[in-house]
Structure 1
Amino acid sequence: MTPAWTLAAPVLLLVASNVFMTFAWYGHLKVDRGPLWAIVLVSWGIAFFEYWLAVPANRIGRAVYEPAELKAMQEVITLVVFAVFSVLYLGEKLTLNHGVGFAFIALGAWFVFKGPL
């Protein structure tokens, strides 16, 4: 039997890493000034910390998940983190189209976890 921590640690680390990566990729959209090279360097610096979480998440997760499962999990986590970020930080509205599109991606992840058909 797999310990609960081994199952949960990759998920928690991927959530944390995605928060960093979402800020690295999209946080600068609220910055109205500054040279592009500075924005890129700041984003790169934020992404550095994302790697410190994502790499261990995948190494720990490999003990209990297949690589395709880890990737599918990461994509769904990315969408959830981005949706929350988009609404709370960027002030965007999520539409039915977003929900349907995200649901299709989540359905794809479900098929990855379902195993051979």
Structure 2
Amino acid sequence: MPTIALLVISNLFMTVAWYWHLKGGMTKPLVVVILISWGIALVEYCFAVPANRIGFAHGWSAGQLKVAQEAIALLIFGGFMVTVLGEPLHWRHFAAFACIMAGVAFLFVGKN
């Protein structure tokens, strides 16, 4: 569970680092946005790297870590998209999420 918790925290910071400027930050110079995003991404790395090390040490493969991260990222981005950016969810968002979750299931099936 620490792997999942750290990946969730990591993805919260990652989503903010990549997309915060789309709502209210568009007037800032691009170089300023990049520097701010790098600062946020540094915090994100402080959670992502331990998440991957802990998960790998507990028997997760690199592929399992990656698809779990992608599924978490999609969930967090969906919430960010709706709550911060004010964009609606459509059926195709749910269909894409179902496809990614199927990929997660394929990599975890038969995992001891």
Deviations 1:40-86 (Å, cap 9, x if unpaired)?
10011100000000000001111221111111110100000101111
- Cα RMSD (Å): 1.2
Indicate the residue corresponding to 2:88 in structure 1.
93
The alignment's TM-score, normalised by the length of structure 1, stands at 0.89
Q: Does 1:12 align with 2:16?
A: no
Distance 1:12 1:112 in 2: 19
Query: Which consecutive residues of structure 2, in runs of 5 or more, have no partner in the other structure?
Result: none
Q: How many residues align?
A: 109
Q: Does 1:83 align with 2:78?
A: yes
Distance 2:108 2:67 in 1: 8
The alignment's TM-score, normalised by the length of structure 2, stands at 0.93
Percent of matched pairs sharing the same residue = 50
Give the ranges of 4+ consecutive aligned residues of structure 1 lying more than 2 Å apart after TM superposition.
none
Indicate the residue corresponding to 2:104 in structure 1.
109
Deviations 1:89-110 (Å, cap 9, x if unpaired)?
1111010011101111111111
